[in-house]
Amino acid sequence: MTQLTLAKALNAGLRRALADDDKVVLMGEDIGTLGGVFRVTDGLKAEFGANRVVDSPLSEAGLIGTAVGLAYRGFRPVVEIQFDGFIYPGFDQIVAQVAKLHYRSRGTVKMPITIRVPFGGGIGAAEHHSESPEAYFAHTAGLRVVACSNPADAYVMLRQAIASDDPVLFFEPKRRYHVKGEVDESASLADAPPMGVAATLSRGSDVTLVTYGALVQTARDAATAAEEEGISLEVIDLRSLAPIDYAPIEASVRRTGRLVIAHEAGQQGGMGAEIAASITERCFEFLEAAPVRVTGHDIPYPPAKLERHHLPDLDRILDGVDRALGRPNSLSGVEA
């Protein structure tokens, strides 16, 4: 076991993937000489050369479109999108090409492309640097979407994403980049849980609390705080947003009867809506209350001095827990 920051764990995962398979190539803006704006690719160009760790011209469509061509040729491109809000110029290539080529080619052309996206807010950044675009991609057939929340998962899940024959949108919680955790660098991929599996982080009996990415730590803190009030939260880290591993959520809700979903992204058409609907369909008769969503507002990401009013924090999550439990809360007495 080694203590690594999440960024260093990703770096170690990339190094391992580059060493294990010479078809793996890293592409992105400023990822070579600079080592990436978050230093996730630090030192890799020096170690593997400019044809394996490629500084690309500033074009997200170009990055992803050329990755498609490389995948056609048998490569496993790992593309870094510098910031979440910069992914949109590449959106067409992701949705119309990366996601559909395996289907369009009737299974003959594989698209083992990993698209790494630092996502989410909380770092006081400029506009377009704090977004949570994951639902666009979870909505798109043909893509897999995952979000890591801690260094150990980051190290393993990134290697799993690169090894996957399906294209993977890999979301990295940027405000957790510098938080350390234990990483087992000797762990084999075969022994690790697959990236498609959710993780139940704390057992609880009153409310099931589902989240992913940076909010996983907030949810754990909320569980600790709730415990002091005698409320027992079961925290589930989704890890995979497409497909969603419903089994542990469903099993949990059958016990707790109450579901809260938290994410930084806006509410409308988001992951919370999908999970609330699916769990309602699967185990309606076990629900004691309507599922609750604690999300960012449906607004463009606000200026840094306002982001704390946008991002769900510990107290907003606990307010949602109170709604699920029918305890006094911010919406008490308000018609739904």
Partner 1 sequence: MTPSDRDATGLLTRPDPFVQLITPTGERVRNAEYDPWVADVDLEVLGRLYRDMVVVRRIDTEATALQRQGELGLWPPLVGQEAAQIGSAHALRDDDFVFSSYREHALAWHRRVAPAQLLSVWRGTAASGWNPYEHNMAVPQIIIGAQALHATGYAMGLRWEGSDAASIAYFGDGATSEGDVNEALVFASSFDAPVVFFCQNNQWAISEPVGLQSKQAIARRADGFGMPGLRVDGNDVLAVLAATRFALDRARRGEGPSLIEAVTYRMGPHTTADDPKRYRGDAELAEWRERDPISRVLAYLDGSGVDIAGLEREATAEADRVAAELRAAITTLGDPEPLSVFDHVYAEPNSHLERQRANYARYLAMFDEPGERETPAAGAAPEASSSTEGGVR
The reply to whether 129 belongs to the active site is yes
Smallest gap from Cβ 68 to partner 1, in A, equals 5
SS3 for the chain, per residue?
Answer: CEEEEHHHHHHHHHHHHHHHCCCEEEEECCCCCCCCCCCCCCCHHHHHCCCCEEECCCCHHHHHHHHHHHHHCCCEEEEECCCHHHCHHHHHHHHHHHCCHHHHCCCCCCCCCEEEEEECCCCCCCCCCCCCCHHHHHCCCCCEEEECCCHHHHHHHHHHHHHCCCCEEEEEEHHHCCCEEEECCCCCCCCCCCCCCCEEEECCCCEEEEECCCHHHHHHHHHHHHHHCCCCEEEEECCEEECCCHHHHHHHHHHHCCEEEEEEEECCCCHHHHHHHHHHHHHHHHCCCCCEEEEECCCCCCCHHHHHHCCCCHHHHHHHHHHHHCCCCCCCCCCC
* 134 vs 206, beta carbon nearer partner 1: 134
- Given 102, 129, 263, 310, the catalytic residue: 129
* 70 vs 325, beta carbon nearer partner 1: 70
* 284 vs 336, beta carbon nearer partner 1: 284
Residues of this chain that interact with partner 1 (CB under 8 A) are 25, 51, 56-57, 59, 61-62, 64-75, 77, 89, 92-93, 96-97, 101-112, 141-142, 144, 164-166, 196, 242-245
Smallest gap from Cβ 236 to partner 1, in A, equals 16
Smallest gap from Cβ 119 to partner 1, in A, equals 21
* 101 vs 125, beta carbon nearer partner 1: 101
Residues annotated catalytic, as ranges = 129
